[in-house]
């Protein structure tokens, strides 16, 4: 489609990429390993969430098996790049059911076997890692194919349950004796090279590739077909969209990038263990997709940022504080909620301006705040409280609030675009078109106007 | 072009289609009429592959299409509209009319992601084809309307979008399921003209399900009347409305005995 502002938009995108690179440089050199880790985690989960969005948001199939795909990618990557020392330690432990053969599966050995000894050296670990990630992604996408097949017969909740079951089965199978020669059972792998998963450059580059592929796909003929399935499956089929192919394509691509994210995730943690891939991981991704906006890549990235921020920087919430401090903080939050409701109602011109949604939180908040001020003098509320698990609760509350007040997520289905930044809207009539439109959409009016003109002409 | 022979379909004990045979020739406008529950939409669903007939055959351009998937039938050249609009509500008008062209795409997903020249050429062609089909309805779906999501459109514009969407599949036979449902008399008159232009200018063959007898009477080359899944009459509109079996199905036995006509179009026009 012709875009008159194409050059300007390209320039702005280039500038934006420059800013991102600068930001990454600053983060990398900030000296704060916590910041670097948080940002790397954002990118890794971003890959998983943006790919989940292809199935959940674009195609409109609720899939809850992303953690299963991540596990496959993670274990394959870990096995393929595990350093020799870690492998020796597994043998020496004497508790492992892994054999010499399964322990010798690695990219380095593969390179040696095909006569590329030079690439098997530790200096080329980065290349081995890329190959391992790719193979991990392929392995996961094979399982994506398997999960995609029931999606042809099942819809909605039923399919969600199947995908959830699949994710859990994968996790349980990985620890059984059947697969422990390859997965080292419940012990998993320790000592996975961490220089990739904890590097902002590696993770952001792969996130960039994921976003690029997903965005290009969404705005292609294939993406339109997938969105057609989301909007109305029967109509999409009646318009020639091959449902089987399209749904399986969505599942396979989602699983591939989930597998890649899994590979980076084991590198970020440094281990591959089954308890890294619990359903809570899936829950975090689901919150990221739902809060940001189901179907919107921009929104999903924002949702991921919120989830990762709460996870990585939310630990002050889980410390021990005096009860009066909790009361004061709680009162302030409730007060802020009341003010928020007031501003919301004012902006939307809702009447009455002060309803229960405004004055109840304002009243309760003031009461709590006042009580917290008075309590120490009166000897009330002595003692303290540890906010254990408050981060998870906060995420759940966030999900509930979003589902109640903005079920489509913060971004809804819309994406970031320069046209939106400059408020250029192609779906609004120009001034001259506005005049014409009344004629076009109402033939009766057009008749009447024509008659009126004729009468005026006669006079 | 389309030949239906001895088609039967039952849902449990309900015989929805019984031993139905008729054909549609290229360039014709054929209407299927009948009282509610006569099996008109079930017939459409069988032709488009939503339901598989119990017995009988449906041949399109000489080849049987029974047992094919809906998307394959579209690819073969039959497209439909729905009685209660099934548009892609949250997508724009343009996207709605581009999705039906996806089945013609010859590039795989990777070339679509990489935006290869071959893919871009097809994308541009699809865009222009969509504009071409939308311009069939005059300028009202063009310009800024192209980028509006379907949910902001008026009901009549949604009907038009759905017809444009069916045309964009590159089908040669269009099945229109009550194209004028919910439209006022002037909009119905416009739809009548458009259906005729679709045949005359667009070259489409049209099979139509419709309740508004004045529309049916005005444009049909032939009319097939169904009642309880059986064909009770076939022929020109004038012949059919004076057929006693049709009068009985529509107005009851007494009306048939009194020799009244089932030509209800006149009565509809006179309604306030």
| ipTM for the assembly | 0.90
Count interface pairs A-B at CB distance under 8 A: 130
As given in the structure block, the two tokens for residue A53 are: 């969005």
Min Cα distance A209 → chain B (Å) is: 11
Min Cα distance B260 → chain A (Å) is: 34
Residues of chain B in contact with residue A234, where contact means CB-CB under 8 angstroms, are 50, 86
Min Cα distance B134 → chain A (Å) is: 14
The answer to whether the CB atoms of A243 and B71 lie below 8 A apart is yes
CA distance B254 to A87: 93
Which of A5-9, B100-104, B195-199 has the lowest average pLDDT? A5-9
Please list the rounded mean pLDDT of every run of 10 residues in chain A (459 residues). 78 94 93 91 96 94 93 94 89 82 86 85 89 96 91 86 92 88 86 90 95 95 95 93 94 96 95 91 92 91 94 89 89 92 89 88 92 85 85 89 87 85 81 64 64 72
Angle at B195 between CA B190 and CA B199, to 5 degrees: 145
Residue with tokens 């590979």: A263
In sign, the C-alpha dihedral spanning A131, A135, A137, A138 is positive
* Closest residue on chain A to B165 (Cα): A239
Pick A413's closest partner by Cβ from B86, B90, B166: B90
The answer to whether the CB atoms of A443 and B90 lie below 8 A apart is no
Element (H, E) at A429: none
Strands B2-11 and A384-386, by their bridges, are unpaired
Question: What DSSP line would sit under A175-203, residue for residue?
Answer: TSTTTHHHH-GGG-EE----TTTT-HHHH
Residue with tokens 């489509």: A408
- CATH 3.40.50.300-classified regions of chain B: 1-77+171-272
pLDDT greater than 90 at residue B265: no
CA distance B143 to B164: 15
CA distance A158 to A161: 5
pLDDT band at B272 (very low <50, low <70, confident <90, very high): very low
pLDDT of A31: 85
* Strands of the sheet with B55-60, listed across from one edge: B14-24, B2-11, B55-60, B63-64
The answer to whether the CB atoms of A430 and B165 lie below 8 A apart is no
pLDDT band at B270 (very low <50, low <70, confident <90, very high): very low
Pick A1's closest partner by Cβ from B127, B143, B149: B127
User: What's the pTM value of the predicted model, to 2 decimals?
Assistant: 0.89
Pick A224's closest partner by Cβ from B102, B119, B144: B102
As given in the structure block, the two tokens for residue B67 are: 């047992």
CATH class for the region spanning B1-77+171-272? alpha beta
Who contacts B29 (Cβ-Cβ below 8 Å, separation ≥6)?
B195, B196, B199, B205, B206, B208, B219, B220, B221
Min Cα distance A264 → chain B (Å) is: 24
**C-alpha count within 13 angstroms, C-beta hemisphere, residue B98:** 25
pLDDT of A444: 63
**C-alpha count within 13 angstroms, C-beta hemisphere, residue A214:** 36
């Amino acid at each position: 489609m012709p875009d008159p502002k194409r050059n300007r938009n390209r320039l702005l995108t280039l500038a934006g990429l420059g800013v991102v690179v600068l930001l990454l440089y600053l983060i990398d050199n900030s000296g704060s390993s916590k910041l670097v880790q948080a940002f790397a985690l954002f990118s890794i989960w971003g890959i998983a969430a943006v790919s989940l969005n292809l199935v959940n948001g674009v195609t409109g199939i609720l899939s809850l098996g992303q953690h299963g795909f991540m596990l496959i990618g993670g274990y394959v990557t870990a096995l393929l790049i595990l350093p020799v020392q870690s492998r020796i330690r597994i043998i020496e432990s004497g508790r492992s059911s892994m054999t010499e053969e399964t322990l010798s599966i690695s990219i380095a050995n593969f390179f040696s076997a095909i006569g590329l000894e030079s690439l098997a050296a530790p200096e080329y670990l980065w290349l081995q890692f890329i190959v391992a990630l790719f193979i991990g992604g392929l392995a996961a996408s094979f399982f994506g194919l398997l999960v995609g097949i029931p999606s042809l017969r099942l819809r909605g909740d039923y399919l969600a349950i199947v995908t959830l079951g699949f994710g859990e089965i994968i996790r349980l199978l990985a620890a059984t004796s059947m697969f422990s020669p390859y997965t080292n059972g419940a012990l998993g792998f320790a000592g996975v090279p961490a220089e990739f998963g904890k590097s902002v450059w590696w993770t952001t580059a792969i996130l960039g590739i994921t976003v690029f592929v997903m965005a290009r796909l969404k705005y292609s003929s294939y993406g339109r077909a997938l969105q057609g399935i989301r909007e109305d499956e029967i109509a999409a089929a009646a318009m020639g969209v091959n449902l089987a192919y399209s749904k399986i394509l969505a599942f396979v691509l989602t699983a591939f990038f989930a597998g890649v994210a899994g590979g980076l995730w084991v590198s970020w943690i440094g281990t591959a263990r089954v308890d890294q891939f619990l359903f809570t991981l899936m829950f975090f991704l689901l919150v990221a997709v739902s809060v940001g906006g189901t179907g919107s890549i921009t929104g999903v990235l924002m949702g991921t940022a919120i989830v990762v921020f709460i996870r990585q920087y939310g630990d002050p919430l889980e410390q021990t504080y005096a009860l009066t401090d909790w009361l004061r903080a709680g009162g302030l939050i409730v007060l802020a909620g009341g003010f928020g409701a007031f501003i919301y109602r004012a902006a939307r011109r809702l009447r009455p301006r002060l309803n229960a949604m405004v004055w109840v939180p304002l009243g309760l908040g003031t009461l709590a705040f006042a009580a917290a001020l008075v309590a120490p003098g009166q000897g009330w509320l002595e003692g303290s409280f540890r906010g254990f698990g408050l981060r998870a609760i906060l995420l759940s509350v966030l999900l509930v609030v979003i589902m109640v007040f903005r079920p489509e997520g913060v971004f809804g289905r819309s994406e970031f675009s320069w046209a939106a930044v400059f408020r250029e809207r192609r779906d609004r009539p120009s001034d001259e078109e506005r005049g014409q439109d009344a004629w076009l959409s109402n033939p009766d009016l057009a008749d009447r106007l024509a008659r009126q003109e004729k009468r005026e002409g006669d006079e | 072009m389309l030949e239906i022979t001895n088609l039967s379909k039952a849902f449990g004990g309900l015989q929805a289609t019984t031993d139905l045979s008729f054909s549609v020739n290229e360039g014709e406008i054929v209407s299927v009429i009948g009282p509610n529950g006569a099996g008109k939409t079930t017939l459409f669903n069988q032709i488009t592959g939503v339901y598989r007939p119990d017995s009988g055959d449906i041949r399109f351009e000489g080849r049987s299409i029974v047992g094919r998937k809906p998307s394959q039938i579209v690819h073969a050249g039959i497209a439909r509209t729905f009685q209660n609009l099934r548009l892609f509500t949250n997508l724009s008008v343009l996207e709605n009319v581009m999705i039906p062209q996806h089945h013609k795409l010859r590039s795989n997903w990777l070339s679509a992601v990489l935006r290869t020249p071959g893919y871009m050429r097809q994308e541009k062609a699809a865009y222009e084809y969509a504009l071409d089909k939308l311009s069939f309805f005059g300028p009202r779906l063009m310009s800024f309307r192209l980028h509006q999501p379907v949910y902001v459109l008026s009901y009549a514009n949604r009907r038009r979008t759905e017809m444009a969407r069916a045309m964009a599949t590159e089908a040669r036979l269009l099945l229109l399921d009550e194209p004028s449902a919910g439209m006022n008399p002037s909009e119905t008159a416009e739809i009548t003209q458009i259906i005729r232009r679709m045949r005359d200018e667009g070259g489409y063959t049209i099979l139509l399900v419709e309740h508004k007898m004045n529309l049916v009477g005005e444009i049909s080359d032939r009319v097939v009347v169904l009642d309880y899944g059986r064909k009770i009459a076939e022929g020109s509109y004038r012949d059919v409305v004076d057929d006693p079996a049709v009068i009985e199905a529509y107005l009851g036995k007494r009306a048939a005995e009194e020799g009244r006509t089932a030509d209800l179009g006149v009565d509809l026009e006179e309604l306030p």
